[in-house]
């Protein structure tokens, strides 16, 4: 009887050992798989997005190239077209157009074209708005998307991050006693759409993260969180109090001058 019990115990130990060993191998293989996926996925997605963009530009630009100047015309032995021809032509064309607009003749042609567009009732509104947005975003001297800020939205105790686009001017600023700031609140996971908010400067907390880090955080839905680059002393200071109904939660210690726009000079 004792021998049977001992044999059963040994069998159970061997089964347990084998089970643990098998489980350890599966866990290790699963870890290797996840590590490989995390390594390959960003590279693969980047290459795929670049390839989609390349094919999109080629499909729109390549047909516009005359056959005599199209490299694909002379490659009859190749079964596929050379990728990137349309993109190269687009870049060269933009460089030539930019150089021409810097010259006197180019500026004259641009002014004539704009005067013609401004005579069209509907087209001039679309052109004017589009031109203003593009110039604001692309010009290096503009204040657009220079800083990531934290603010309460859509209620007290609920927080969102946005991008400062400039100082509020005109009628919106003149109707309030607050020093108001334009803040763009992007949506997740598509940051190209969102809402324009006019927020008092005293209710905005400037963040140390860069605009690129803020966009990554929004696109990932908070999965990719940038590190806190502030010093250990600054991290200990709490600028936001606990939510308590409609009581303001932003501390008076917030330095509004850190917001990267010039304050509005009002009489």
pLDDT of residue 184 exceeding 90, the answer is yes
How does pLDDT run across 190-218, given as a tens digit for each residue?
887 899 999 999 889 999 898 889 988 99
Q: Say which residue, 74 or 191, is predicted with more confidence.
A: 191
Alpha-carbon gap, residue 193 to 212, rounded angstroms? 16
Q: Identify the pLDDT of residue 263.
A: 46
The pLDDT tens digits of the residues spanning 104-114 come to 777 788 888 88
State if pTM tops 0.75: no
- Percent of the chain residues past pLDDT 90, beyond the cut: 11
Q: How confident is the model at residue 13 (pLDDT cuts 50, 70, 90)?
A: low
Q: Where are the domains of the chain?
A: 147-258
- When pLDDT is cut at 50, 70 and 90, the band that residue 73 belongs to is confident
Query: Phi-psi category of 75—alpha, beta or left, where left has phi over 0 and alpha has psi -120 to 50?
Result: beta
Which residues have C-beta within 8 Å of that of residue 207, sequence separation ≥ 6? 147, 148, 149, 150, 161, 214
What phi-psi label fits residue 222: left (phi over 0), alpha (psi between -120 and 50 degrees) or beta?
left
Most confident of 58-62, 130-134, 236-240: 58-62
Least confident of 61-75, 91-105, 185-199: 61-75
Predicted confidence band at 143 (pLDDT cuts at 50, 70, 90)? low
pLDDT for res 267: 40
Confidence band of 123 (pLDDT split at 50, 70, 90) = confident
Task: Give the residue with greater pLDDT, 120 vs 3.
Answer: 120
Average pLDDT, the chain: 78
pLDDT score of 141: 47
Is residue 152 within 8 A of residue 249, CB to CB? The reply is: yes
Question: For the CA atoms of the chain, what is the radius of gyration?
Answer: 30
Contact 187, 181 (CB under 8 A): no
């Amino acid at each position: 009887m004792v021998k049977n019990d001992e044999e059963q115990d040994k069998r159970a130990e061997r089964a347990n050992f084998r089970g643990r060993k098998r489980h350890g191998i599966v866990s290790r293989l699963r870890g290797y798989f996840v590590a490989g996926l995390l390594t390959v996925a960003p590279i693969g997605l980047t290459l795929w997005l670049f390839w989609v963009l390349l094919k999109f530009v080629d499909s729109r630009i390549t047909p516009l190239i005359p056959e005599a100047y199209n490299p694909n015309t002379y490659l009859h032995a190749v079964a596929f077209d050379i990728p990137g021809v349309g993109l190269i032509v687009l870049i060269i064309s933009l460089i030539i157009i930019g150089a021409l607009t810097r010259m006197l003749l180019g500026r004259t042609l641009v002014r004539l074209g704009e005067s013609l567009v401004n005579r069209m009732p509907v087209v001039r509104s679309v052109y004017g708005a589009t031109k203003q947005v593009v110039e604001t975003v692309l010009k290096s001297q503009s204040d657009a998307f220079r800083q990531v800020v934290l603010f309460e939205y859509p209620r007290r105790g609920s927080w969102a991050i946005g991008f400062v686009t400039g100082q509020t001017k005109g009628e919106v600023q003149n109707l309030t006693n607050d020093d108001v700031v334009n803040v763009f609140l992007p949506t997740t996971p598509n940051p190209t759409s969102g809402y324009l908010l006019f927020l008092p400067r005293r209710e905005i907390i400037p963040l140390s993260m860069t605009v690129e880090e803020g966009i990554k955080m929004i696109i990932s839905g908070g999965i990719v969180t940038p590190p806190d680059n502030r010093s250990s002393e600054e991290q200990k200071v709490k600028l936001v109090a606990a939510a308590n109904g409609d009581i303001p939660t932003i501390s008076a210690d917030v330095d509004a001058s850190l917001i990267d726009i010039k304050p509005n000079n009002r009489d």
